């Protein structure tokens, strides 16, 4: 029963993390398109609060519950799909930190990239989510 509770909490934390991963780059799009100081300052505040208040805690909770699941069911480490999933999680953590670096650059007033770049950048977590869900549900190897 404990395993199922931890799994449920892992999924909830992961949904919160992905919601933030989808929304923060969308804020970057709007930030890159903003033309006045008031708008840019507002986006800096929104980005900082989203990153620190939601995205970081959700990532940490996802990782803690995920590690806990592996501790409770270490046999999954013998299966290839989990190795592929964990590789994607490492890439997602990297993406998360790239987003954090961009939040800091915008806060310092440094110019970002074009809004078109951020629109494409926003698609990375979608692809990772798609792959992770397929790996976990289908367990192809």
Q: Which residues contact 11 (CB under 8 A, 6 or more apart)?
A: none
The pLDDT of residue 111 is 84
- Count CB atoms within 10 A of the CB of residue 78: 8
Domain count, the chain: 1
85 is in an annotated binding site: yes
Range of the domain at 126: 1-138
* Reported pTM: 0.95
Written as tens digits, the pLDDT of the chain (141 aa) is: 999 999 999 999 999 999 999 999 999 999 999 999 999 999 999 999 999 999 999 999 999 999 999 999 999 999 999 999 999 999 999 999 999 999 999 999 998 899 999 999 999 999 999 999 999 999 999
Interatomic CA distance for residues 21 and 30, integer angstroms: 15
Interatomic CA distance for residues 12 and 26, integer angstroms: 22
49 is in an annotated binding site: no
């Amino acid at each position: 029963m404990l395993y199922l509770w931890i799994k449920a909490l892992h999924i909830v934390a992961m949904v919160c993390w992905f919601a933030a991963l989808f929304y923060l780059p969308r804020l970057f799009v709007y930030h890159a398109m903003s033309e006045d100081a008031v708008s840019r300052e507002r986006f800096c505040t929104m980005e900082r609060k989203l990153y620190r208040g939601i995205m970081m805690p959700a990532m940490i909770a996802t990782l803690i519950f995920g590690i806990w699941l592996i501790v409770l069911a270490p046999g999954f480490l013998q299966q290839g799909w989990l190795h592929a999933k964990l590789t994607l999680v490492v890439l997602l953590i990297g993406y998360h930190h790239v987003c954090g670096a961009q939040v800091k650059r915008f806060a310092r007033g440094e110019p970002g990239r074009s809004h078109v770049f951020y629109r494409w950048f926003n698609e990375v977590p979608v692809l990772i989510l798609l792959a992770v869900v397929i790996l976990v549900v289908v367990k192809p190897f």
